[in-house]
Amino acid sequence: MYRTIQQQLQARIQAILQQKYEVTLAQFAVEQPPAIAMGELALPVAFELAKRLRKAPRAIATELAAELNASLSELPLVASVEIAGAGYLNVRLDRAAVVREIAADRHADIGGPGFKLVEHTSINPNKAAHIGHLRNAILGDTFQRLLRSDAYKSGYQVGVQNYIDNTGVQVADVVVGLMHLEGKTLAGTRELMNDLASRNHRIDFYCWDLYARVSQWYTGGVDDATPPEPAELARRKQVRLDTLHAIEHGGNEAAEIAELISTAIVRRHLETMQRLGIEYDFLPRESEVLHLHFWDAGRQLMLEKGVLYLETEGKNKGCYVMRRAGNESEAPADGAPDEDAKVIVRSNGTVTYVGKDIAYHLWKFGLLPGKDFGYQPFYTYADERICWISTSGESAPNAPTFGRADAIYNVIDSRQNDPQNNVIAALRGMGFTDAADHYTHFSYEMVAMTPRCAIDLGYQLTDEDRQRPFIEVSGRKGYGVKADDLMDKLIAAALAEVDARHPELPAAEREQIARQIGIGALRYFMLRYTRNTVIAFDFKDALSFEGETGPYVQYAIVRAANIFRKDGSTPQAALQAVQSIDLSALSGDDGTSVWETWLLASRLSLLIEQAIATAEPAYLARYAFQLAQQFNNFYHKHHVLNEQDPAKKTLYLATAAVAMREMTRALAYLGIESPPVM
């Protein structure tokens, strides 16, 4: 509702500016005054106009206030407009009228046409998911929820992809471990998987350790009694390279083991993410990008569009290269080679990662001629939703397609800034400016560990590392907190609390509530930081259920629900009743704290809009906390069930109802469930 009022004010002011001064402002801010006593909305528009009109801000504000006050009939929810400070226009709302609008759940809509593709998670399928992957998946999943159409907003059509690099060097390393460290064949690998499954062990955990061992084996690590000879190290490097090439080509034992193991781990990743309420629509795989020859079509198109050319001189002689972003104007005027150009195809004919990525992104926008994946069902969720996977064979009859997006969001950490910019530059260079403009690298900083946390986990740190602000998670070293381990810990901690508080509940119910709380804490923890903040992970912070956490908000909802349970009434009835009672209790000191709760509760659509526009889910997380704080404030100030004045009691009940409604919604966008009791 707050958004609607902002829009109405903006429209009205635009009309006045046009009519009175013949100026139009493309955009101007509508803020909130520092204190509610000064009104509900503040317009600094007079400052903006001071330069253009060569007039003092306060004089302009005076004229605008007069115009606005004279036409209040156009703004049914505004009570008055006054001038404050050096030229602010402060707007007071008709509290009763606004409350009735909010109670009736009238709010601005969000959404529009178009298909938006969100890609997130994209974990190398060679080891267990860790806390860094959790941040990625939780950010992506939350953003997807903000975009998608639902009961609250029209939203957009959304597809969620999880890219699987199943032919990369990381998978090859695990295959090297299985074949050369453990001497396993394809049959032996099958046996291992069956054995792990029968003992309820996780294959991704097994590979976590194996991957760390292989990484050390390459550099002559712990498995050797004496350091290996240089010739032996060279042989190991060659084994790695040969395995990688074998997997890329396919049709051999290494490739089959890679397929077997990576698919099993992908399945495990889906299970891990499902615990967090995260689901996917499609898993495009690197193997299909290769086997379906996406790059051939991409290269053809790049050559036609003139962004790819054969370098004939200098250090990149014999390579196909692309000029770097921003260098178009500095093209080699004197015919000298552009040494700064990005190599796309090496002189030996192999394609770089960026090259494959350009082709893949052309496909995402439906710009790759004649190429599409085959689609087969891979995983079915509880609600019958199907997760599809790419295949180079025939598609299943009822398969959807996922290319042809109007906008894409790639949730990838900030270390991939350069490669992502290269892809965008390629699209722009090819003349696909619309695609380039709608390509969002949803960049975020990594999750690291505090040195303290790493030591607690038993990792050997150098003295230098101990002095660092944080230690990077490293699959290669085996450093990191596994996603499933962390969830287990959080749920166990929550269960201990629930057991103590609600021994009367059946065990299954207590476990369900503990799961909701543990996951709520985790998702909130990953969302409360803005994207370009490095999270230095520590168990103490992550395991907290107090203060600015998910459980704090969940608890506020439970408190609100308890009011209705004890009262024997429903939130719906309370909101309905607001339409017909006297709302004079909204004014005065007492009423103001009630009114502030309504006002804050009415901002959800505004916050969703901002979170989408800035690709910053943290704004919504913060909002959920602030609303819960505001509600707790109200809860302690006004004892609802003891209220003797019937009109006041009805208003208070409705206040609890509206806060509960919006907190529950906000949490749902964050992917956090609201437990019935806690």
21, with CB counted inside 10 A (0-12, 13-18, 19+), is middle
Stretch that binds RNA, among 47-55, 172-180, 223-231, 577-585 (CB under 7 A): 47-55
Stretch that binds RNA, among 167-175, 243-251, 404-412, 491-499 (CB under 7 A): 491-499
Check residue 52 for interaction with RNA (CB under 7 A): no
Question: Which whole-number Å values give the CA distances from 642 to 570, 580, 590, 653, 654, in the listed order?
Answer: 17, 22, 15, 11, 15
Question: Which whole-number Å values give the CA distances from 63 to 226, 441, 664, in the listed order?
Answer: 87, 45, 43
Check residue 492 for interaction with RNA (CB under 7 A): no
> How far is the C-alpha of 377 from the C-alpha of 372, rounded, in Å?
16
> How far is the C-alpha of 270 from the C-alpha of 162, rounded, in Å?
10
Residue placing its CB nearer to RNA in the complex, 466 or 501:
501
Q: By C-alpha distance, which of 381, 382, 364 is closest to 373? A: 364
Residue placing its CB nearer to RNA in the complex, 386 or 660:
660
Check residue 559 for interaction with RNA (CB under 7 A): yes
In whole angstroms, the minimum distance from the beta carbon of 537 to RNA comes to 10
Q: Between residue 358 and residue 397, which ones bind RNA under the rule CB under 7 A? A: none
Check residue 532 for interaction with RNA (CB under 7 A): yes
DSSP letter at 338 equals: -
Residue placing its CB nearer to RNA in the complex, 297 or 495:
495
In whole angstroms, the minimum distance from the beta carbon of 677 to RNA comes to 4
What does 136-203 look like in DSSP terms, one character per residue?
A: HHHHHHHHHHHHB--SS--EEEEEEE--B-TTSHHHHHHHHIIIIIS---HHHHHHHHHHHHHTT--H
Check residue 330 for interaction with RNA (CB under 7 A): no
Sheet with 309-310, side-by-side order of all strands: 309-310, 320-322, 342-345
Stretch that binds RNA, among 84-92, 97-105, 162-170, 285-293 (CB under 7 A): 84-92
> How far is the C-alpha of 123 from the C-alpha of 604, rounded, in Å?
32
Q: By C-alpha distance, which of 95, 80, 3, 67 is closest to 595? A: 95
Interface mask (CB under 7 A) for RNA, residues 446-485, using x and -? ----------------------xx--x-------------
Stretch that binds RNA, among 26-34, 217-225, 362-370, 663-671 (CB under 7 A): 26-34
Q: Is residue 124 classed as helix, strand or coil in its secondary structure?
A: coil
Stretch that binds RNA, among 289-297, 380-388, 584-592, 621-629 (CB under 7 A): 621-629
Structure tokens of 448? 């690291």
In whole angstroms, the minimum distance from the beta carbon of 45 to RNA comes to 8
Check residue 678 for interaction with RNA (CB under 7 A): yes
H or E element at residue 100: helix 95-103
> How far is the C-alpha of 169 from the C-alpha of 118, rounded, in Å?
25
> How far is the C-alpha of 187 from the C-alpha of 563, rounded, in Å?
61
Which residue is associated with the tokens 């380039």? 436
Stretch that binds RNA, among 30-38, 119-127, 388-396, 569-577 (CB under 7 A): 30-38
Residue placing its CB nearer to RNA in the complex, 392 or 593:
593
Check residue 535 for interaction with RNA (CB under 7 A): yes
Whether 118 and 143 have beta carbons less than 8 Å apart is answered as yes
Q: Is residue 309 classed as helix, strand or coil in its secondary structure?
A: strand
Structure tokens of 501? 């508080």
Whether 111 and 151 have beta carbons less than 8 Å apart is answered as no
Check residue 349 for interaction with RNA (CB under 7 A): no
- Residue type (1 letter), 17: L
Q: By C-alpha distance, which of 231, 258, 262 is closest to 245? A: 258
Stretch that binds RNA, among 45-53, 103-111, 200-208, 422-430 (CB under 7 A): 45-53
Check residue 571 for interaction with RNA (CB under 7 A): no
Which residue is associated with the tokens 């496909």? 363
Check residue 54 for interaction with RNA (CB under 7 A): no
Whether 177 and 210 have beta carbons less than 8 Å apart is answered as yes
Check residue 55 for interaction with RNA (CB under 7 A): no
In whole angstroms, the minimum distance from the beta carbon of 532 to RNA comes to 4
Query: Site for RNA (CB under 7 A): which residue of 230, 397, 547, 568?
Result: 547
Check residue 539 for interaction with RNA (CB under 7 A): no
Count residues near RNA (CB under 7 A): 73
Interface mask (CB under 7 A) for RNA, residues 87-126, using x and -? -x-x------------------------------------
Query: Site for RNA (CB under 7 A): which residue of 11, 29, 70, 234?
Result: 29
Q: Is residue 130 classed as helix, strand or coil in its secondary structure?
A: strand
Query: Site for RNA (CB under 7 A): which residue of 366, 548, 592, 668?
Result: 548
Check residue 533 for interaction with RNA (CB under 7 A): yes
Residue placing its CB nearer to RNA in the complex, 242 or 328:
328
In whole angstroms, the minimum distance from the beta carbon of 315 to RNA comes to 8
Check residue 59 for interaction with RNA (CB under 7 A): no
Check residue 640 for interaction with RNA (CB under 7 A): yes
Stretch that binds RNA, among 67-75, 124-132, 145-153, 495-503 (CB under 7 A): 495-503
